[in-house]
Structure 1
């Protein structure tokens, strides 16, 4: 386990002084006059400023570089691409202190969780370094002619990768890793709230040997102009986006103009089902990370707790007790287990959802209010007697609030779990294998975790169904998202 260093004001200042603070294009940071605040959500004050790039001109410059580098990068031997990705994986671990502290400062997650994200994010680079030398293809005789069927793959081409603020490192590596392994060049657009980690990743990739132009990073507050400009350019061949379903719909409409390949990892509304056969301590062990990891700001976070009446009293009491024990505070402080929300808007949304549930009859067992301190802190919260028509049942909370809904029938629990336009993550807790299998097989979601609170793994396909997205990231499926298949007919 990584030993968490003690953070000092001097250490923070030294890190901020050496961080790159401008877009990365053609293998170099562009420089310029910083003017875009990067806010520390633990204080509500600016940590530093970065250069707010002109979305159109810098975006096109990054795409020009990616297009110019595409042919040579695609022709690079898979083993060479693999070695570069492996070196980037190693550099992430060598620079884990800087990466973790940067994530905590700009996003707010506890430092221990930030180190966990370094491990998780770096693993995408290692996984896809191994996949780079296993590009798919096959040869077989045609069944009804003296001929053969040959299938080969080639890279899709230049990619626009748009990442969110909640996992600043791993969302980048989860897209860049397979793209580079497949032979694609990439223009990365990180969230304006958390650009610093992505800029550190650019330096790592350059130091690992990624050639100039193969990866670029455009830091801008004008996301709409950047995406519309690049997606209107017929040289771009793929868009990979992680974020809200609303923005995803807009991007899909824009992608239709040039029939761009798309990968969309969109919103979630994950149900957490505690079945009659559940072992309550196991359920609680799973519930805490499922709900409160990353301050509750994860698309995979448990959003709705459907608990069978036979175990509801014990589970709800235990969940409230464990939630009360969480320590909210700045992520850099020793002992913190829950950090701030990302900004005032996120905090206000959580307040609205809790107020709506209470107005409709829900009871606050613990928390239920913003904390009286600087920064964007909301008390870790458990709600009981939550009515089915409360907004927390329909909307993604993205905060540390666990609404508990008690039900008498497993069929009702499954129906409630599926009663949403989303279908990304779900959790099923139980000890009866037959019961678990029947329930898990009927949940409409791209991922199901059984008796676990975390299921993400670079070796597994991550993605959703319904309005939670298109395509998969990670595993072999993640590489295929960046490849085109060609069929060649050959005489024998």
Structure 2
């Protein structure tokens, strides 16, 4: 069977209608929108375009299902997630191809994301039966304290386009495990992965009404009325800081629980005692994962002066050797950016840095032909006042900035409103702990370029967000604490 036929079939197999209360239906207004292949600019298909009335239909279903779903045995909720994990792994190839077609990442990386996304279901399948409480005696001995954890209630989940499956399962997994119903709004650019996941969850036994999927071209018009309605009790969002702030304002009216995984501006510190091979490999992982379109991407690479030139040379060789192309082609390592606007932003940041004195060691321009491709780029001598020093690049551009002292590196690394993740390479144990503690981020990669793991708490500080996803604390975001005071025992 040819590649073209496979691609066509995998798109055709996805039901493009809304998924509301366990059933497929057209948008109430009958509208659709186009989904584009960023590697060619061609239209893949059209998807139902949800509006306000669709959102309220989904909310009605979630509210109706909440009590019975919360009363479902934790083991049963966990088994739904376990079956969903198994189904995702069985369908890894088709889910990966679908993701590559709508988002652009190379197929091997898409396969990796399917596995990563599925792991959130396996992890929270195990956490569902570990929701704990407490029992203790009051200090005066006259009462007993009973502490229990209960589902927060219907949730609004909003996911980005760069990890169209994993950012969904990272939210759906703990919500299902905790006993919450939910509405999920995938990004306009990548709705197909989430629509396909809805069928996986239905097949895994998720009851009607627990999950609705609402693609839309009017996210504000859909979500704001729902958040102001009063029946949604939590909003979990992954995306830009600007949008996150708007959602926080809207959530304040009904005092909603919020989880916000927002923008990043990750510093990557290489000290002169570091294993340079490991540091370059870590930089490739931290910079080029997902074509650089990741909130965890290394945005500012600070290298101690004694090794800066050699590090830049090695990194340039690695970046320059990467193969650019359509993600479905064999051997491709770098796919397109998500759209023309994203590519224009990256080019503007590179141009600004060059105008301020930066030197292009490799790349520095968009590629010819169709699609939104940008060549892997390394810049040396980047001035601290360059826009890319304070702006999340979201593309395959690695600015290398030399430093002399540890204090200088820390000051530059922390000189940002963001605080999601930072990276640190050194063989000095005392320096490792000292610098890790001083970095103002929610996560630190010490001698490694990837920090994301379903078993670890993911999240940032400052303008990078609120709350944590994954790990043993991830389910807490979807649980409320209830205290029962028991008297009459003395």
Q: TM-score range with shorter-chain normalisation?
A: over 0.9
Structure 2 residue 11 is matched with structure 1 residue 49 = no
Q: What secondary structure sits across from 2:463 in the alignment?
A: helix
Q: Secondary structure at the match of 2:82?
A: helix
| Aligned equivalents of 1:23, 1:222: Cα separation in 2 | 14
Q: Indicate which of 193, 201, 206 corresponds to 1:205.
A: 201
Note the 1:114-263 alignment, pairs <5 A.
Answer: 114-263=110-259
1:478 to 469, 474, 480: 474
Aligned to 1:353: 349
How far, CA to CA, are the matches of 2:369 and 2:276 in structure 1?
34
Q: CA deviation at 1:464?
A: 0.3
Q: Against the structure 1 CA distance between its residues 470 and 47, is the aligned structure 2 distance closer, same or farther, given a 3 Å change threshold?
A: same
Alpha-carbon separation, structure 2, partners of 1:166 and 1:68: 32
- Residue 392 (structure 1) shift: 0.8
Q: Does the CA-based 8 Å contact 1:7-1:332 persist in structure 2? A: no
Aligned to 1:301: 297
In structure 2, distance between residues paired with 1:107 and 1:370? 18
Residue 49 of structure 1: how far off its partner (Å): 1.1
Asked if structure 2 preserves the Cα contact closer than 8 Å seen for 1:34 and 1:49, the reply is no
Distance 2:231 2:26 in 1: 26
Instruction: Tell me the CA shift for residue 162 of structure 1.
Output: 0.3
Q: CA deviation at 1:270?
A: 0.2
Deviations 1:258-283 (A, max 9, x none): 00000000000000000121110010
Following superposition, the deviation at residue 7 of structure 1 comes to 6.8
Q: Counterpart in 1 of 2:407? A: 411
The DSSP-based 3-state class of the residue aligned with 1:441 is helix
Structural RMSD (CA): 1.0
List alignment gaps of at least 5 residues for structure 1. Answer: 1-5
- How many pairs are equivalent? 486
Measure the CA separation in 2 of the matches of 1:147 and 1:57: 49
More off after superposition, 331-340 vs 29-38: 29-38
Name the counterpart of 1:28: 23
TM-score (ref. length: structure 2): 0.98
Q: 2:310: which partner in 1?
A: 314
Give the C-alpha shift of residue 87 in structure 1: 0.4
Contact 1:44 1:374 in 2 (8 A): yes
Structure 2 residues not aligned, in runs of 5+: none
Cα shift at 1:416: 0.4
Q: Which residue matches 1:3?
A: none
| Deviation by residue 1:220-277 (Cα, 9 ceiling, x = unmatched) | 1110011111001111100000000000000000000000000000000000000121
Distance in 2 of aligned mates of 1:218 and 1:308: 48
Tell me the residue number matched to 2:34: 37
Report the TM-score when normalising by structure 1.
0.98
2:393 maps to which residue?
397
